[in-house]
Structure 1
């Protein structure tokens, strides 16, 4: 008898950034909502999706590094939704790429067909020469060089929830 498994979805984005920038919504709160919607979607009366977001991943022993844990989640997922606002995320060292940049690259490298980029307005890249500015510019340049079809840029929470679907007035969970 065949064993079934849940389809693993990873939501990748910055956590504490606000979306839209002038709102009270953080990307973490939106990701938590999307997780509930996706996991609440049933097929033939059964829950078929398991969503990984770092906000509710269980703590691991000290052998597991945060960076490596996130990249492993990319490799383990069946579908990766990258919610990109151009913020590269934190880095281990000043000259390194950010975690959001690393996750997107890992997804494209391991299984390009499972990655969906949902473009949000990019955060402004400052004129400074600090490590964060350099990381964000490098990430935004990397994203702009990729050529997957992604549709337009989303600017509202509702658009973010419906972007993965081609038809209007549908929810992200109906994408699956």
Structure 2
């Protein structure tokens, strides 16, 4: 019988730094490697762990090149953060630890966990200061520990958490198949009927107050920010964006935002922000066309595309592949995770507050004419 495949874990950190009560980090890394590889289901080990000590001089490669290759191979990247950027390879202005973390976040952010070993070390080199600013600005630290027992407990918990997330991600529907189940039920509907189902599913997934048809008041579950209720205008594009009849059902809905000025005041909400469920895929260029300008931000991610511009402060959230209710909820959850993970929630609320002021000014101007 073939061996059960294992998840590959990479430990990234300085090796020789003293931590806690002067214990060498390399000793802790070796012990942690053994503990993680000791996790089993029945007789089957779940993980294999790579640390630099396993391959201190990769053949024909620099240390950094070897580490970056391991990041590409890893299923889980666990960073033990001490505040030190590491040595600079080949005269680079950033340290190896910084480069490893940057590479992992660029390509595999959803499998990266960072544990801060307290107290972190003061910056000695300029690259240490740059590294510390990089970590702080992106709010990367998952947990902080002050002794070896807390380190082992936190590391094992985070590794298991990442493993479960990988399993769940693999088990989730991709949202791309429409030939079976509930997705097929929606595919059988005409455009108006499908759009109605999509809007209903989106309103229910947003789980907020719905004072009017197509409007939801919600805080999106955002944490760590000043309380704010967002006025979300809900729409649906029930076919591919290339289908004019589907796209034109939405048009450019922000041109009617001034109609909601009174509701914004009445409910003490900010916005509007437009959340649009799309039955098929969506691209940045399509989002910018809906927004009506190319001078804007458009970011594609797992949920679809987020587009915003900083003149009229208009914001569009386009959830892709909303082929059935579960896919709508999944897209919304991924959008929420992206906001929290990338620190974009603060920008979303900043624009929403500014948008309310613009909408109220437009409404007053129209009332005066």
Where on the TM-score scale, by shorter chain, does this alignment land: which range?
A: 0.7 to 0.9
> How far, CA to CA, are the matches of 2:87 and 2:79 in structure 1?
16
For the structure 1 residues 38 and 164, does the alpha-carbon distance in structure 2 shift closer, same or farther, using more than 3 Å as the test?
closer
| Structure 1 residues 30 and 95, CA gap change in structure 2 (3 angstroms) | same
Q: 1: distance between equivalents of 2:3 and 2:38?
A: 21
Question: Tell me, what secondary structure is at the counterpart of 2:48?
Answer: strand
Structure 1 residues 12 and 37: alpha-carbon distance in aligned structure 2, compared to 1, 3 A threshold: same
Match of 2:14 in 1: 14
TM-score normalised per structure 2:
0.41
Q: Could you state the TM-score of these two structures normalised by the residue count of structure 1?
A: 0.82
Q: Distance in 2 between matches of 1:174 and 1:113?
A: 14
SS in 2 for 1:70: helix
Does 2:156 align with 1:159?
A: no
Measured after TM superposition, the shift of residue 56 of structure 1 is 1.5
> C-alpha separation between the residues in 2 aligned to 1:122 and 1:162?
19
Structure 1 residue 106 displacement after superposition:
0.8
- Does the 8 Å CA contact 1:41/1:173 hold for their aligned counterparts? no
CA contact (8 A) 1:37 1:173 kept: no
Deviations 1:48-98 (A, max 9, x none): 21100010227543x222110011111110011100010000112445200
CA RMSD of aligned residues (A): 2.4
Q: Partner residue of 1:129?
A: none
Aligned residues: 161
CA contact (8 A) 2:85 2:94 kept: yes
Q: Any conservation in 1 of the 2:36–2:156 contact (CA below 8 Å)?
A: no
Query: 1:147 deviation in Å?
Result: 2.6
Distance 1:56 1:3, change over 3 A: closer
Q: Report what 1:130 is aligned to.
A: none
Unaligned runs of 5+ in 1: 127-132, 167-171
Kindly indicate whether structure 1 or structure 2 has the higher relative contact order, using CA contacts under 8 Å at least 6 residues apart: 1
2:13–2:79 Cα contact (<8 Å) kept: yes
Cα deviation, 1:103-144, whole Å, max 9, x if unaligned, reads 111110111010000012220124xxxxxx101000000000
Native 8 Å contact 2:11 2:78 kept in 1 = yes
State whether residues 7 and 48 of structure 1, in contact with CA within 8 Å, keep that contact through their aligned partners in structure 2. Answer: yes
* Residues 45-124 of structure 1 aligned to structure 2 (within 5 Å): 45-57=43-55, 59-61=57-59, 63-120=60-117, 121-124=119-122
Greater gyration radius = 2
Unaligned residue ranges in structure 2 (runs of 5+): 164-369
Q: Which moved more, 1:73-82 or 1:91-100?
A: 91-100
Separation of aligned partners in 2, 1:82 and 1:142: 14
